[in-house]
Chains A and B, each alone.
Chain A
Amino acid sequence: MTFLYVIARPRLVGAEAISKSMSYEIVIGLEVHLQLNTKSKVFCGCSTNFGSAPNTQTCPVCLGFPGSLPVLNRQALELGAKVAIALNCQIAKEIRFDRKNYFYPDLPKDYQISQFDQPLAQRGILNIITGESEKKIKIRRVHLEEDTGKLFHQKDHSLIDFNRSGMPLLEIVSEPDMNSPEEAYLYLTALKSILEYIDVSDCNMEEGSLRCDANISIRKKGDNALGTKTEIKNMNSFKGVKLALEYESKRQAELLEGGKKIIQETRLYNTEKCVTEPMRSKEEAHDYRYFPEPDLVPFDFEESFLEKIHKGIPELPEPKRNRFIKDYRLSNYDSAVIVSDKDTADYFEKCAGLYGNPKAIANWLTGDVFAYMKENNVLIKDLNLKPEHLSDMLKMIDSGVITGKIAKTLLIEIIATGADPRRLVKEKGLEQISDVSLLEATTSQVIRENPKSAEDFKNGKENAIMFLVGKVMQQTKGRADPNKVNEMLREKLKGVK
C-alpha cells in the first residue's frame, strides 16, 4: 500500500544527520529492473506466469539450446515504449539489440540479449515531491533485455530454474540526481506509481518483478567532482533500499573521516544484519564485450506504432494531482496521496461525481477508509465499499440523518456487509435524534446524575457543558444531535437556578 508513504516527512535521520554534520553531500543514482507483464517471454512464446513448477515454462530458445533463435515479442516493445513515453524520454528511431557476454549458469547462452549503445529511450524526467517542493530526477536511459534463470544453492550443488529466463526486463537508469536515501525512496515510489498507472508491470519487489540496484558516492559540500562510488545490490523492498543507502552513506562518510579511501566495488545488502558487504571489486569487473546481436535485425520504429502507444497512456499521476488540486480544491497533500494509486484516484473521482463535497470525500478516504485498508491489509479495488455507498453515507451526515460519530461505525458496518447504508441506518436504528421530546428525558437524567458538572457550569465553567453533552451522546450511543443536546442542556441549566 504505497500510497500511505508518498509524501516526504522531512526529518533528520541516520545518514542525513551524518552528512549534514560533516558537510558531505550524498549522490545517488538508481537502476531499476522491471519485469514487463507481457503474456509471453521477450524472445520466445513461453508463458510468463509466476510460480509455476521449475523449468515447465521453457523451450529451446529460452534454454539457449544450440541452433535456436530469438524473435522479438512486439508486446514487450510496446510496453517498453509506454514506459519511455510516460517518463518523457526521447525514443530511439531504430530498435536494435546487443549481446552482453559473461559466463554464469543462470544465463543459458552465456550472453544476455540487451541494448547497449542505442537504448530504447534516453533523457527522461521524473518529478518527485519532497515536502512541499518538487525535484526533477533525470532518467539517463531505458532499455529492453531478457531476464536470467534463477539459481537455488543447495549444500553441495546448485539447481537452476529457467522459467524466468527470457522474461522481458526493462532497465530504467536514473542520473545521479538524488541527494539522500529519502529521495531515492521517493523516486522509487513515484516511479512505481507511474508504472502501475500505465499497467506495464506487477511492480512486486518480493516476487522480483521490480528490482533495484543503487550507485552511491559522497563528496564534500561544494565539491564539483564526484566521489568514488559503490554499487549496492540485493535490496528487496523500497524500505530496504533506503536502509541500505543510509548505512552505505554512513560507512563512506566514516571512511573519509578516518582518512581512508573508498574502494570502487559492488556491495551486497545483507537484509538481516542491515549492512552492505563487499561482493566484487572493480578489478574483478566483467568486460562484457558488447556487440550488435546478429540474430535480430534492427528496424525502425513506425510513427503509427508510437502514436497508438501514446493514445493508450492514461492521465498520469502528476497531471492528475494538479487537476485534483485545481478542480476539487484538494490540498497538495491529500491530492498527492490520492493520485499515487490509480485505483484510489479513480475511486475518488467516482465519489466526487456522486457527492458535491470533494474535501469531505478526501478526508474520509485518507482517514477512516485508509486506516481500515491498512489494518485489514486490503487494496481499494478489493474493498467492499461502493463509491455510491460512501457518497450516500456522506449525504446522510450532511442532511442530519446520522451523526459523524455514527458514520464511523456505520462505515465499518457497510464494508463488513456490503449493504446499502440507508437500509443499514434504518434497520439498526442509527438515525440522529434531534427530536426534543426524545432527548428530554435523557438530558434531564444526565443533569440529575452529574450534579457537580451542572453546578460547575452554572458557576461559569463553560467547559463543563461539553462533559454533559458527552454523557448524553454516550447514553444515546452517539445518535443524539450534539448541537441540539448542547442547546437543551443550556436551556435547562439556565432555568434551574
Chain B
Amino acid sequence: MMELNTLTAHNLTELLKKGDISPLDICNSIINRIEKTEKSLAALAHFDKEKALERCGNLSKTAEKGELWGIPIFIKDNICVKDELTTCSSKILKGFKPPYNATVIDKLTGLDAILMGKTNMDEFAFGSSTETSCYGPTRNPWDLERIPGGSSGGSAAAVAGDEAIFALGSDTGGSIRQPAGVCGVVGLKPTYGRVSRYGLIAFASSLDQIGPITKDVEDAAILLKAISGHDEMDSTSADIPVSDYLAGMKKSIKGLKIGVPKEYFIEGMDKEVKNSIKAAIEKLEKLGAVCEDTSLPHTEYAVSVYYLVATAEASSNLARFDGVQYGLRADNIKSMMDMYKKTRKEGFGDEAKRRIILGTFALSSGYYDAYYSKALKVRTLIKTDFDKAFQKFDAIVTPTSPTAAFKIGEKISDPLTMYLSDIFTISANLAGIPGISIPCGFTKNNLPIGLQILGKPFDEETILRIAYNYEQNTDWHKRKPDIK
C-alpha cells in the first residue's frame, strides 16, 4: 500500500473518486504514521485512535459526497469541537469539552472531512515555538532538537511530518505562517473577517484568524474555500463572496506587480534566509512578475504595537478562566478571591501570566492613553502603509521569519528575543490583510526557509496565485524530512 499519509488532500480525493482507496485506508495510514513518529514529534495534544476510526466508519456513504469526503484533518487545540477536549494546551482548561462546535468545524464536517484530533500549541497561542504548551514542546520534523515554530507548531509539525494530511491553525501575529515557514509547509492567514472566529478560543480578538496549514498551495486553496464565508454568529466576519481560489490561482503571474519592502531586510538577519528570499524574488521575475523595492515606513513599530494591542485584548479574553464554570478550579480554596488567585496561579503558565500582566497594565487608568490608545493610533499608520503600497502593487513579498528554526530552549528565557521571531508576520495581523508562507529554500543544515506573500484585503486569490506559480516551478515543497 502506498503511503497515503504523505499525500495531499487533492491527491487523495482523486484516488477516492477513482475508488482505488477508501477513507479507512487513509485513516489507517495516518494512525500508523502517528504510532511511528508521534513519540519524536509530540505534535498532538489530543488523539484517540478509536474515535478517529469510529468517525471514519460513520462517514456517509451516499452518492451525495462533500468536497472533503474521507479526508482526515487535524485541528489546533484552541478551536472548539463539540464534546472533545479543547484546552488551548493550557492546564487551566484541563478536561474542558465545549458543548458546541466552532463554525469552521461545522463547515468541515458538513463537507464530510474526518476530524482526527487536536494539535499541540503554545499555551493560548502565546509564543513562537510551541514550548509554552502544558503538554511540553513539539519538535521540528527537520531537526528534533529544534522548535517547530508557533503557536500552531503542532499543526505545522504534524503536516510536515506526515502525521496529518492538512490541519487548521490560528494566526494572531504569525502563528500559522511562522511555523509553516520553519517546518517547510504552506500556511495561510486569511484576511481578518474572511473566516468565522466563532468557536476559536480568543487570544486577541481583533487579530485572530483561523487558517489552513497544508503540504501544497492547492490544498491551502481547497481548505481556505471550505472554511471561508460570512457567519451570523461572528459580527466581525465579512459578508463578502468567497472567490474560486482553485481556478484563480492557476492563472499566470505575468505582469503582476510585487513590492519588496526594504524594512524587511534588516541588519543582522540570517544570510541564508536573505539569499533564499532574493533567489525567490528572481524566480518570480522570471515567471513574469514585476518586482520593485518599496517602503512600509512604520514597520519598526509593529512589534511594540502588537504586544500592547494583543496583550490588552488577551488580558480581558482570559479573565473568564476563573474557576467558576469550567476548566480548572484549585483545591483548598477559602474564599472567592482565593479561588480566583489560586486557580489562575496554578492554571496559567509563565508566558500567559506575563501577557495578562502586560495587557492589564496597558489598559490601566493612567496608562491607557500612553500605551493602548497610542498603540491603536500607530496600528492605523501601519495599515495606511499597506493601503498606500497596495495602490501600486498587487502583492508584497518578504521573508516569513528572520531565521530558520532555532533550538528548543534557546529563546524561552528571553521573551524579547522570542517576540522578534514574529517581526515579519505581525504587521499583516495589525493591518488585517492576508498572508501566506511557502517553502522557498533550505539552510545548509537542511532547515526550511519560508517566503511570505502579503495581499490586499480579501484578495487571497492573488497571493495563492503567486504562491502556486512559484511552487509549480520549484520543488522545495517536495522534500520530506527524515524523522528518526
A interface vs B, CB < 8 Å?
A: 60, 63-72, 99, 101, 103, 105, 108-111, 160, 287, 289-291, 294-297
- Min Cβ gap A104→B in Å is 8
Interchain CA distance A109-B201 in the complex, whole Å: 12
Nearest CB in chain B: distance from A72 CB, A: 7
Q: Within the assembled complex, what's the spacing in Å between the Cα atoms of A332 and B254?
A: 83
Known: A65-B99, A67-B80. A101 touches B198 (CB 8 A): no
Residue numbers in B under 8 Å from A109 (CB-CB) = 319-320
B100–A289 contact, CB under 8 A?
no
Q: Return the chain B residue nearest A59 by Cβ.
A: B100
Q: Can you list 26 residue pairs at the A/B interface with Cβ under 8 Å?
A: A60-B99, A65-B98, A65-B100, A65-B326, A66-B201, A67-B79, A67-B80, A67-B199, A67-B200, A68-B100, A69-B197, A69-B198, A69-B234, A69-B235, A71-B233, A101-B319, A103-B322, A103-B340, A111-B316, A287-B364, A287-B365, A289-B315, A289-B368, A291-B368, A295-B202, A297-B235
Residue of B nearest to A293 (CB): B205
Q: A289-B363, A291-B363 are in contact. Are A67 and B201 (CB under 8 A)?
A: yes
On chain A, the residues within 8 Å of B326 by CB distance are 65
A287: nearest chain-B partner, CB-CB = B365
Return chain A residues, CB-CB under 8 Å to B98. 60, 65-67
B206 interface residue, CB < 8 Å from A? yes
B236/A297 in contact, CB under 8 A: yes
Min distance, Cβ B227 to any Cβ of chain A, angstroms: 15
List A contacts of B100 (CB < 8 A). Answer: 60, 65, 67-68
- Chain A residues with CB below 8 A from B200, complex form: 67
Contact with A along B64-103 (1 / 0, CB 8 A): 0000000000000001100000101000010010111010
Smallest Cβ-Cβ distance to B365: which chain A residue? A287
Looking at chain B's contact residues, the main secondary structure is loop
Q: Which of B93, B235, B313, B336 has the most CB of A within 10 A?
A: B235
A160 touches B324 (CB 8 A): yes
State how many angstroms separate the Cβ of B54 from the closest Cβ of chain A: 24
Task: Give bound CA distance, A294 to B198, whole Å.
Answer: 13
What chain A residues lie within 8 Å of B201 (beta carbons)? 66-67
- Smallest CB separation, B333 vs chain A (Å): 11
Residue of B204, B319, B325 with most chain A CB atoms under a 10 A cut-off:
B319
CA distance A70 to B234 in the complex (A): 7
**B313 contacts across to A, CB distance below 8 A:** 291, 294
A110 touches B233 (CB 8 A): no
Q: Which residues of A contact B316 (CB under 8 A)?
A: 99, 101, 111, 289, 291
Q: Is B470 an interface residue (CB 8 A)?
A: no
Question: Inside 8 A of A72's CB, which chain B residues have their CB?
Answer: 235
B292 — which chain A residues lie within 8 A by C-beta?
none
Return the 10 tightest CB-CB contacts between A and B, nearest first: A110-B319, A294-B205, A289-B363, A294-B206, A66-B201, A67-B199, A67-B80, A67-B201, A109-B320, A287-B365
Least Cβ–Cβ distance between A376 and chain B, in angstroms? 46
**B305-341 interface with A by 8 A CB criterion:** 312-313, 315-316, 319-322, 324-326, 336, 340
A64, chain B: closest CB distance, angstroms:
5
User: Could you say which residues of chain A place their CB within 8 Å of the CB of B206?
Assistant: 294
Task: Determine whether the beta carbon of A110 is less than 8 Å from that of B322.
Answer: yes
Pick from A63, A291, A294: contact of B325, CB below 8 A.
A63
Q: Write out, one digit per residue, whether chain B residues 187-217 have a CB within 8 A of any chain A CB (1) or not (0).
A: 0000000000111111011100000000000
B360 at the interface (CB under 8 A from A): yes
The residues of A that contact B458 with a CB separation of less than 8 Å are none
Q: What distance in Å separates the Cβ of B343 from its nearest Cβ neighbour in chain A?
A: 11
Contact B99 A71 (CB under 8 A): no
Output the least CB separation between B376 and chain A (Å).
8
Chain A's closest residue to B196 (CB) is A69
List, in ascending order, chain B residues with CB within 8 A of A99's CB: 316
B320 in contact with A71 (CB, 8 Å): no
Expressed in whole angstroms, the Cα–Cα distance for A101 and B359 within the complex equals 12
B206, B233, B315, most chain A CB atoms within 10 A? B233
A296 CB contacts on chain B under 8 angstroms: 235-236
* B325 and A67 contact, CB distance less than 8 A: no
Residue of A nearest to B199 (CB): A67
Residue among A63, A69, A105, A289 making CB contact with B336, cutoff 8 Å: A105
Known: A67-B80, A103-B340, A289-B360. A295 touches B198 (CB 8 A): no
Known: A103-B340, A110-B319. A67 touches B93 (CB 8 A): no
Residue B372 is within 8 A (CB to CB) of chain A in the complex = yes
| Residues of B contacting A63 in the complex (Cβ-Cβ under 8 angstroms) | 325
Residues of A contacting B99 in the complex (Cβ-Cβ under 8 angstroms): 60, 65
A287 cross-chain contacts in B, Cβ below 8 A: 364-365
